[in-house]
Amino acid sequence: MNWTRKDLLGLKDVSAEEIQYILDNAATMKHILSQNVKKVPHLRGKSVITLFYENSTRTRMSFELAGKYLSADTANITASGSSVAKGENLLDTGRTLDVMGCDVIVMRHNCSGAPHLLSKHVNASVINAGDGMNEHPTQALLDMFTMVEKKGSLKGLKVAILGDVYHSRVARSNFYGLNTMGAEVYVASPATLLPKNVDMLGAKVCKTVEEAIEGADVVMNLRMQLERQKSGLFPSASEYAKYYGLNEDKLKLAKPDALIMHPGPVNRGVEITSGIADHERSVIDEQVTNGVAIRMALLYIFANRRNEE
């Protein structure tokens, strides 16, 4: 397909055709990852900068490796130890990267909409690596890639997403992407962690985890940040684990071949038991590998976009 999109800010307005194109490219990239020598010259002479206002070694490393495998020049800026910490504003930072000739800016930010703001003011492509509570499109893409690998297709899949939906950009990106690709999404979470009108984003709200898991092809648990307890959103880790966590008993309600997924890092014993995390049907490790493939595909697509202009 002829790729015209400048930025990947989220999946809410990305078409099925575009998602399929990214997933197809990721399959090729995964093949490269399985080779003995992983380095290919696809992005030689291209530069990728990761601009992280929030710490996430995993996601940053995933992008960085993706870039390096494709021979792009990569550099990292994190909130500490750079002008960011000195209070330089976002647009000034972005413009600086732009005039340095950066092709792709991979951005992680604690504020929803920050990549949208940046993208309007830079020529470089902006890939959202997670913005506040809004979206984390590359995570949802790697989730979908993993589901396709295991299930063949997303159409008609029943996906249960459990836990802290309110704060979850992973959940939101999955709602959009999965709905676009024809899957059905069910959610269950403590009522205090269910955002208002979430059904309008294409998530079917269930009162209990059991209801959401019933007959599911995929069970995805979200990370629960334990400090939310202090703001009164739930009473304790143990009550959370009991009612909203995933264990062997609850898993029995899902299809026998249901996949267990988690965006990581896992709070063992809170959102899922250790037994579940290491379960034979857990694809948590493969999600991480697939993350590199998806990010290779995205960097390839976006860094080359300008060649075609």
Binding interface with another protein (CB under 8 A)? 12, 89-91, 109-114, 116-117, 131-135, 169, 172, 195-198, 200-201, 231
Smallest separation (angstroms) from another protein to the CB of 153: 27
Q: Which of residues 89 and 225 has its CB atom nearest to another protein in the complex?
A: 89
Q: Which of residues 131 and 184 has its CB atom nearest to another protein in the complex?
A: 131
Smallest separation (angstroms) from another protein to the CB of 225: 14
Smallest separation (angstroms) from another protein to the CB of 28: 31
Q: Which of residues 9 and 159 has its CB atom nearest to another protein in the complex?
A: 9
Q: Which of residues 60 and 169 has its CB atom nearest to another protein in the complex?
A: 169
Smallest separation (angstroms) from another protein to the CB of 280: 34
Smallest separation (angstroms) from another protein to the CB of 144: 19
CA distance 204 to 27: 30
Q: Which of residues 168 and 290 has its CB atom nearest to another protein in the complex?
A: 168
Written in H, E and C, the secondary structure of the chain is CCCCCCCECCCCCCCHHHHHHHHHHHHHHHHHHCCCCCCCCCCCCCEEEEEECCCCHHHHHHHHHHHHHCCCEEEEEECCCCCCCCCCCHHHHHHHHHHCCCCEEEEEECCCCHHHHHHCCCCCEEEEEEECCCECHHHHHHHHHHHHHHHCCCCCCEEEEECCCCCCHHHHHHHHHHHHCCCEEEEECCHHHCCCCHHHHCCEECCCHHHHHCCCCEEEECCCCHHHHHHCCCCCHHHHHHHHCECHHHHCCCCCCCEEECCCCCCECCCECHHHHCCCCECHHHHHHHHHHHHHHHHHHHHCHHHHC
Q: Which of residues 35 and 123 has its CB atom nearest to another protein in the complex?
A: 123
Smallest separation (angstroms) from another protein to the CB of 200: 5
